[in-house]
Structure formats: structure tokens, C-alpha cells
Structure 1
Amino acid sequence: MLNWIYEAYGRGFGPLRLFGSFFFLAAVGYATTAIATWVALPRLWDRLPKDRGRAFAVNAEQSVGKPLSAGLVFVSIFCLGALIFIPFQAAALRSLPFIFAAMLVGYLDDRRGGFSEYQLAAMDLAIALAASVAVLGLREWAIWLPGFKPAVLLSPWIGLPLATALIWISINATNCSDGVDGVSGSLTGTAIMILGALLYAVIGNADVAAHLHVPVNPEGADWAIMAFVMVGSVSGYLWYNAAPSQVLMGDAGSRPLGLMIGLLTVATGNPLFLLLVGSMILANGATGLVKVAVTRFLGIRVLAGIRFPLHDHARKELGWSNTQVLVRFLILHLGLSALLVILVLKIR
């Protein structure tokens, strides 16, 4: 909306010209949604469902009775913020209905005590496919990979299933990573922030992209605004989720956050970015999914001595406190992301 005001009225009026700056929109969007979430959440969390505890989760009893589904609040604030700060013509806005749908699926799962695994998998798949079609359309998807200077054009028959799989994995890995105060919000928030910075400064910048032989995304700045608006919402939530937490995001928060990471990965044009900036999210959550799938469908027991999610293994088997899990996972997350992203950008 602010960009529309700039286009309609701001070109000849000095202060309104700020509404045409993507950097200004991203920064103010972050601050606005952070403050809005910080103010709104404690006023609304008494109306949220309460956590009942999770079977087999370490220290699950510590969360029993706490307000759950904070994602219902901060994702709703994010959606309103996106409409205010992202240009109306941006392709990124076409993903908003699916982020909202992922939030609703998560909220219903939190409130009713859980859909079956297969029901959730099917709903996630439908949302991931619809979001992929909304963002990519039925055209070719240009991706780039380390070691190959030219872009690789994928037909819709290959590109859409690949994008759908990336988003589906991201949703479920992020959902499985939730369970320790501050961990899921911090890991996902930093992953989204890194992707947003790359889309703004590298992939959305024609000069930098040309220098690095990376295909430019003309709407990279739009996606960057969306990323920072979401990080602002998550920051407002983390204020109350710091150990010992007062409120939990639930599936209503983790599922749309995972969807956002998947969408931003698709926008970068490099499918490997899901691994590069989400390494600890995947290690914490997706490895457990692989273990369950291999054991259930192939009858092969793998990683039998490791608890999943990994944060449970760290607390139960290694004796780490919640704060140690948060700080150490975040250190690994930032270190791996910085190293891998730099390598991929330079190895062209």
C-alpha cells in the first residue's frame, strides 16, 4: 500500500518518496510488525488454546498449560504488514493466502489435539503445490547451481514438483524443530533474514548478480521486504518465548514459517539454499522424518541411538540445558550458513 501511495502521490512530495525505497519499506516493516506483535500477543494469548504436552518429548511437562498457537497472532500481523509494505503488483503477495492457510491448518491441529500424520502431510502437500503454482506459474523455472555458470531452465513438469517438494520438506522440518524455548523461532528467523538479505543485495541486484554470474530476480527486493516483515513478527514473539517461555508458537507458527523459508528458497532460484541456510533446521527436524520413513516403510532401523528431534537428544543424552541448546544450535546455524552461502556464491 505504501508503495502505491508513493506511485500515486509521492513523486512530487519529498517525505512520501521514502515509500518508494525498498530498504525503507523493509526496515520500517520489520520494526512495525515487531512492535505490533510485542504489544498484541500478551493481550490475546489468554484466548489461545493451552498446550497439553507431547508424548515422548523431553521436559514436555514444562510446557503444559502455556498458551499455544501464538502463530495465529504473529502470522496474522505479518499478513497485514505484508499488504502495507509490499508493492501490490509483487508476485510475493500471491503467496499470502497460502501462508495464511498454513497458519490455519496449524491452528486447527493445535486446537483439536492433532490431525493424523497422513492428513497433515496431504494438507501440506496441497498448500505447497498451490503456493508453487502461484509463485512460478506454468512457465519455466531458471535455477542456478554451483559449478555451472549458465542457468538451468526447468520445464513446469520438473520445476513445479521440485519447488513443491522443497516447500513441503521445509514446512515439515520446521514443524519438527519446534520444542525448545526460542530455538525454532531463532533458527527460522535467522534463516529468513539471511534469505531476505541475499534476495535484496545479491539476487535482486542486477550489478552484483552479473558479477557473481547469478541469474537476477527482478522482484528480489519485494521478497526481501516480505522476509523482513516476517522476521519482525517473529522477533516480537521471541520476546515472550525466551526461556522460560510465556507462550508457544505451535503448529500455527511453525508451519507458515517453514512455508516462508521454502518460498524464499524458490525465489532465490537455487534449491540448495534450503540446505545452505536451513542446515540446522533440517538436521534438527528433517532427519527425524527420514528415520521414521525408513523404519516405517522399509523396515530398516537407522540412527537407533539418536533421539529426534536433535534438541531432545541434546537435552536427554548430552545433558544440555534449554539455553545451551539454543545458543549452540544458533552458533552452528550461523556458522554453517555463512560458510556454505559464501562457497556457493563464489563457486560458479
Structure 2
Amino acid sequence: MLSWISIHLGGLWGPLRLLNSFFFLAAIGFAASALTTWIVLPKLWDRLPRDRGRAFAVNAEMSVGKPLSAGLIFVSIFCLASLLFVPIDARCLWTLPFMVAAMIVGYFDDRRGGFSEYQLAVMDFAIALGVAAVIYGTLPATIWLPGWKGAITLPPWIAIPLATGVIWVSINATNCSDGVDGVSGSLTATAIMILGGLLFTVIGNDTVARHFDIPVNREGASWAIMAFIMVGCVAGYLWYNAAPSQVLMGDAGSRPLGLLIGMLVVATNNPLFLLLVGSVILLNGATGLVKVALARFFGLRILSKIRFPLHDHCRKELGWSNTQVLVRFMLLHLGVSALLVILVLKIR
């Protein structure tokens, strides 16, 4: 919307031309979203449902009674801010209804005490499939992989299921990572920020992408603006979620965050970026999903002495405090993500 104002009214007042700068839009989008979330969240969280505790979770009793589903507030702010700051002709805006759908599914899951695993799996699949179809459409998709010279062109009937799987895993891994004050928000915000930076400076930049021999995403800057808007929203939320937390994001926040990470990974045209920027998120959350799936469907008992999500194992078995979990997970997340991204870009 603001870029439209710049195009049509920039000639009447010079400073309005700033609104045509993607960098400026990303910066003020981040700041406005962070400030709005910081102001609005405490005014509305008394209307949110209350946490009832989770079975088998470590220190679950410490969260009982706290406002839950803060994601309902900051994801709504994200969607409104995206409509304001992202160029109105950007196709990525068509993914916003699916962000709202993921938020609503998460909210009702928080409020009613939980859908069944299979119900959530089906709803997540439908949302992931819809987003993948919006991003790729009916045209062939071009992806790139480290160590593979040149780009790979995939027909829609392969590209869309591949993207659906990436997004579905991202939703569920992020959702399972929630449970320690500040951890899920910090890990996901960092992953989103890294992806946004890559989309803005590398994958969406024709000169840099050509240097690294990477297919260009012409809408990389628009995706980056969405990424930094969400980082701002999560920053405003983390102000109140820092230990000891005053409010919890719930599934209403973790599911849309996972959805956005999956969408940004698909937008990079490299599905392996889910492993590169989300390695600690996947290790923390998705490993438990694999463990349960292997035991339930194939009778394989692996990692039986390790609790999942992994942050519960660190607190229960290793005696880490919540602060130690946060700091150590963040250090691993930043170090591993930076190293892997640099290696992948150079391997090209």
C-alpha cells in the first residue's frame, strides 16, 4: 500500500519517494510492528484463554494460568502490517489468508485443549498445500542445490508436493519447539531474519545471485519485507515472554511462525534451507516427531533415553535452567546456521 502511495503521490512531495525503497519499507515495517505488538499485547491478553498445563512437559505447572494464544494478536498485526508495507502487487500477499488459517487452527487448539494429532496433521497439510500452490502456481519451478551445477527445473506436479512437505515439516517442528520461555520465539525469529536477509541481499538481488550462480527470485525483496515485519512482531512479543514469561504464544503463534519459515524456504528455491537455518528447531522439535512416528507405525524404538522436545531433556536430565536452554540453543542456532549458509553459498 505504501509503495502505491509513493508511485502515485511521490511527485507531489519528495520524501514520499522513500516509500518506494524496499530497504526503508523493511526497516519501518520492523519498527512499526515491534512497537505495535509491544503496546497492544498487554492491553488484550486478559481476553485470551489461559494455559492449562501440558502432560509430561517439564515444569508445565509454572505456565498454568498465564494468558495463552498471544499469536492471535501478533499474527494479526503481522497480516495488517504486511498489507501496509509490502508492495500491493506482490504475489506473496496471497499467502496471508493461509497465515490467518494457521493462526485460527492454533487458537482453537489452544482454547479447546487440543485437536487430535491426525486432525492437526490434515489441517496442516491442507494449509501447506494451499500455500505451495499459491507460491508456485501452474508454472515450472526452478530450484538449486549445493554441489549441483546449474538449476533444476521441476514441473508443478513435483514442485508443489515437495514444497508442501517442506512447509508441513516446518509448521510441526516449530510447534513442537515451543515450551520454554523465549526459546521458540528467539529461534524462529532468528531463522526468519536469516531467510529475510538472504532473500533481500542474495536471492532477490540479480547481481549477487548471478555471482553465486543462484536462480533469482524477483519477489525476494517483498518476501524479505514480510520476514522483517514478523521479526518485529516476535520482538514485541518476546519483551513479555522473556523468563519469567507473562504471556505465551501458544499454537496460535507457533503454527503461523512455522508456516512463514516454510514459505520463506520455498521462496529461496532451495528446500535444504530448512535444514540450514532451522537445524536447531528441527533437532528440538522434529526429531521427536520422527521418534513417535517410527514407534507408532513401524514399531521401532530409537532414542528411548532422550526426552522430546529436546529442551525438556536438557532441563530434566541435564539440569539446565530455562535461561541456559535459551542461551545455549541460540548460540548453537546462530553458529550452525551461519556456517551452513556460508558453506552452501560457496559450494555453488
1:243-258 correspondence to structure 2 within 5 Å: 243-258=243-258
Q: CA deviation at 1:11?
A: 4.1
- Corresponding residue of 1:122: 122
- Corresponding residue of 1:331: 331
1:160-179 correspondence to structure 2 within 5 Å: 160-179=160-179
Amino acid at match of 2:191: A
1:255-334 correspondence to structure 2 within 5 Å: 255-334=255-334
1:38-57 correspondence to structure 2 within 5 Å: 38-57=38-57
Q: CA deviation at 1:12?
A: 5.2
SS of residue paired to 1:145: coil
**Distance between the aligned counterparts of 2:245 and 2:195, measured in 1?**
27
SS of residue paired to 1:150: coil
**Distance between the aligned counterparts of 2:12 and 2:309, measured in 1?**
55
Pick closer, same or farther for the CA change 1:264–1:293 going to 2, 3 Å. Answer: same
SS of residue paired to 1:142: strand
Amino acid at match of 2:40: A
Q: CA deviation at 1:148?
A: 1.5
| Aligned-residue RMSD, C-alpha | 0.6
Amino acid at match of 1:274: L
1:20-169 correspondence to structure 2 within 5 Å: 20-169=20-169
Q: CA deviation at 1:147?
A: 1.0
**Distance between the aligned counterparts of 1:55 and 1:164, measured in 2?**
30
The answer for unaligned runs of 5 or more in structure 1 is none
What whole-Å deviation, never above 9, does each CA across 1:167-201 have from its counterpart, x for those lacking one? Answer: 00000000000000000000000000000000000
What whole-Å deviation, never above 9, does each CA across 1:248-294 have from its counterpart, x for those lacking one? Answer: 00000000000000000000000000000000000000000000000
**Distance between the aligned counterparts of 2:57 and 2:148, measured in 1?**
43
Amino acid at match of 2:6: Y
- Corresponding residue of 1:237: 237
Amino acid at match of 1:243: A
Q: CA deviation at 1:102?
A: 0.2
**Distance between the aligned counterparts of 1:46 and 1:40, measured in 2?**
11
What whole-Å deviation, never above 9, does each CA across 1:8-44 have from its counterpart, x for those lacking one? Answer: 1114531001000000000000000000000000000
Of 80-89 and 145-154, more deviation after overlay is shown by 145-154
- Corresponding residue of 1:7: 7
Amino acid at match of 1:259: L
What whole-Å deviation, never above 9, does each CA across 1:46-81 have from its counterpart, x for those lacking one? Answer: 000000000000000000000000000000000000
SS of residue paired to 1:149: coil
**Distance between the aligned counterparts of 1:140 and 1:248, measured in 2?**
41
**Distance between the aligned counterparts of 1:74 and 1:101, measured in 2?**
14
Q: CA deviation at 1:309?
A: 0.1
Amino acid at match of 1:110: D
**Distance between the aligned counterparts of 2:31 and 2:187, measured in 1?**
19
The answer for unaligned runs of 5 or more in structure 2 is none
Amino acid at match of 1:28: I
Segments of 4+ in structure 1 off by > 4 A? none
Q: CA deviation at 1:7?
A: 1.2
Q: TM-score, normalised by structure 1?
A: 0.99
- Corresponding residue of 2:205: 205
**Distance between the aligned counterparts of 1:252 and 1:51, measured in 2?**
13
Q: CA deviation at 1:157?
A: 1.0
What whole-Å deviation, never above 9, does each CA across 1:122-167 have from its counterpart, x for those lacking one? Answer: 0000000001111110211100001122110011111000000000
SS of residue paired to 1:56: coil
**Distance between the aligned counterparts of 2:139 and 2:51, measured in 1?**
43
SS of residue paired to 1:115: coil
Amino acid at match of 1:265: V
SS of residue paired to 1:148: coil
**Distance between the aligned counterparts of 2:148 and 2:311, measured in 1?**
36
Number of equivalences: 348
- Corresponding residue of 2:214: 214
Amino acid at match of 1:67: P
What whole-Å deviation, never above 9, does each CA across 1:200-239 have from its counterpart, x for those lacking one? Answer: 0000000000011011111100000000001000000000
Q: TM-score, normalised by structure 2?
A: 0.99
**Distance between the aligned counterparts of 1:148 and 1:300, measured in 2?**
34
Pick closer, same or farther for the CA change 1:229–1:209 going to 2, 3 Å. Answer: same
